[in-house]
Structure 1
Amino acid sequence: MNEESPKAIFYALAANFGIAVCKFGAAAYTGSGSMFAEAIHSTADCGNQLLLLFGMKRAQQPANALHPLGSGREIYFYALIVALLLFFVGGAFSVYEGVHRMLHHEPLSNPVVALVILGISVVLEAFSLWGALREIRKGAPNKTLWRWFRETRESELLVVAGEDVAALAGLAIAFCAVLMTMLTGNPMWDAGGSIGVGVLLMVVAYVVAREVKSMIVGESASPEVRKAIDAHLRARPEILRIISLITLQWGKHVVVAVQAEMIDYASGRALIDAINIVEDDLQRTFPQVRWVFFEPDIARDKAQPEQMY
């Protein structure tokens, strides 16, 4: 897990706070439903970033008798809460606000002000997204954003990036809705923009929640880390054959369980010493590997395919 992830969260928190203040002022001044929906969205985002920071702090608690592997996966819980808030507070409320204004035909005043605020918001939101993308590129310089999204184990950075992408797209929808309302004089465009923003947020929240749920259930280390660990173990002279390799992402750490056929040793003590050497070397090479469970065994069926998870 990228140790720089909190930077992306602070970028997002600063940007969303400034955006929320501007949007609420513009919504009160213009009466724009799309602007008010965007203001609620930005306020929810501020709360979301605070929740992520709190979750990261909680995840640093040391291991104890109740949680022998520590609390690293607690950040996944808070990431899921953030996704739910994005769905209900941001998305569902925006849809409600849009439907309400559509039914009551509430007019829009001073749309130019709303457009200026939306333009400022785009700049601030782009700054937040730039911060998130910079941290993503540090850990995955050669991956597409979608591939990183599907393979990353950094739930907090995934949530921030998802929020930022949704926010920029939502701003584009709101800008178009206000502009069409100004050009046509029809407030239904503004109401429809609010509904569009809400639907967009709910879709993004669902996709983010699905990824975080998979982490909560228990995901292996990322594919490149898993393959690198497998290659490292196969290259060890002490190991004759890897029978099974299981990795489990535990917050920013990784749990590794290995079942391997070892070369012949003169005594049980010599075998134990060899296993300790392999474990120490693995943890030096991969600092994120906090726990290693190594089981020496003999392959019962040579034709049986080796397993790696």
Structure 2
Amino acid sequence: MPKPNSLKSIFFALGANLAIFIAKLGAALFTGSGSLLAEAIHSLADTGNQLLLLWGLKLSRRPPTPKHPLGHGKAIFFWSFIVALLLFSMGGMFSIYEGFYKLKHPKTISYPFLALGVLLFSLLAEGISLIGCLKEINKVRKNQTLLTWFKKTRQSELLVVFGEDSAAIIGLTFAFLAIVLSIITQNPFYDALGSILIGILLIVIALAIGSEVYELLIGQGVEPEIKEKIIELLEKQPEIKQVLNLITLQLGPNVMVAVKAKMNLKKSALELVNDINQCEQILKKHFPQVKWIFFEPDIKK
């Protein structure tokens, strides 16, 4: 099965968000649109978020040390959680504030068609970024729905990029419709309402991302399907009579596995050790993400 390239998805999103931020900010300052300014801040937050994810990936790849014997893989979970907090605060809360400010101080949008043009450009750029992200997701999603994948995935950085891109597409649509309604009615109320709706959307997406990353941060095992496949593989080995217990821990891109197994009887301790080593080698061959194995022979659970 091909492995999804999270780094590629992050760079796609980074390039798109940086270009979109510059375009939105210029148009927002020129037109005075609250929805467009909210979207510009959203894109700025997303650009910073991609940089934080890149930093998190870099930290997660540091080798194990005596202080961190199981490596630094969970660093990407921490930075993904920080991204969710920033999306909530910097993106969502500011957009809501901007919307209520515009309600109290209404201002007619100048050059609204320029704003619409920038939003269409942004939709195109975000669409390209989302397609790139979905291409990587589809490598592992199989027949799962995107919602099921979102809840089950252990790749927090890919989850964050997908959540941000999805929020961006929906938010841009809100902003586009808000400005169109403002043009038709000549009422800036709809532009302010669009900003508030964008803020609510970002908060909902941020809470959804934060909830999933929280599970990984406090210690989550591999997907149930992978755990079943690990048990199935081990019980096929002639050295093992039965897997009594299996515990896994997701550590960023790597996995720790603890096995308690009932072994077929051997005449010596050396033979038992060789059998265990053989099983560990086979497990790592079929599941290269498994970096640490703690194997305990036993006769009962």
Q: TM-score range by the shorter chain?
A: over 0.9
**Secondary structure in 1 matching 2:242:** strand
CA distance in 2, matches of 1:148, 1:6: 19
1:79/1:217 CA distance change after superposition, 3 Å: same
Unaligned segments of structure 1, at least 5 residues? 301-309
Q: Deviations over 1:263-299 (max 9, x none)?
A: 1111111111111111111111111110110100111
Q: Which residue of 2 aligns with 1:303?
A: none
Is the Cα contact below 8 Å between 1:9 and 1:160 reproduced in 2? yes
Q: Is the 8 Å Cα contact of residues 4 and 140 (structure 2) preserved in structure 1? A: no
Is 1:127 aligned with 2:108?
no
**The residue matched to 1:71 in structure 2 has which SS?**
coil
Aligned equivalent of 2:221? 220
1 CA distance for matches of 2:292 and 2:69?
A: 11
In 1, Cα distance between the equivalents of 2:142 and 2:237? 29
2:55 is equivalent to residue 54 of structure 1: yes
- Write the distance in 1 (CA, Å) between the matches of 2:290 and 2:248: 9
Map 1:119-158; keep pairs closer than 5 Å.
119-158=120-159
- Structure 2's unaligned 5+ residue stretches are none
Structure 1 partner of 2:181: 180
Cα deviation code 1:137-159 (max 9, x no counterpart): 11223221111111110000000
CA contact (8 A) 1:2 1:154 kept: no
SS of the equivalent of 1:258 reads strand
The answer to whether the 8 Å contact 1:245/1:259 transfers is: yes
Letter in 2 for 1:101: K
Counterpart residue number, 1:115 = 116
Which amino acid counterpart does residue 258 of structure 2 have in structure 1?
Answer: A
Displacement after TM superposition at 1:3 (Å): 5.6
| In 2, Cα distance between equivalents of 1:50 and 1:221 | 27
- Counterpart AA for 2:116: L
Identity %: 49
Alpha-carbon distance between aligned partners in 2 of 1:171 and 1:20, rounded to the nearest angstrom: 12
Q: Deviations over 1:217-248 (max 9, x none)?
A: 11111222211101101111111111101111
Q: Find the counterpart in structure 1 of residue 231 from structure 2.
A: 230
CA apart distance, 1:210: 0.3
Q: 1:36 is matched by which residue type in structure 2?
A: L
How many residue pairs end up in the alignment? 300
- Aligned partner of 2:67 in structure 1 is 66
Please say if residues 79 and 156 of structure 1, whose CA atoms lie closer than 8 Å, have aligned partners that are also in contact: yes
AA at the equivalent of 1:218: G
What is the CA RMSD across the aligned residues, in angstroms?
A: 1.1
Encode CA deviations 1:164-220: one digit per residue, 9 max, x unaligned: 000000001000100000000111100000000000000000000000000001111
Q: Shift of residue 2 of structure 1?
A: 4.1
* Offset of residue 106 of structure 1: 2.0
**Matched residues in 2 for 1:277 and 1:114: separation?**
64
Taking structure 1 as the reference length, the TM-score comes to 0.95
Report if the CA contact (8 A) 1:15-1:125 is conserved.
yes
Please give the secondary structure, in 2, of the residue aligned with 1:143: coil
TM-score if structure 2 supplies the norm length?
Answer: 0.98
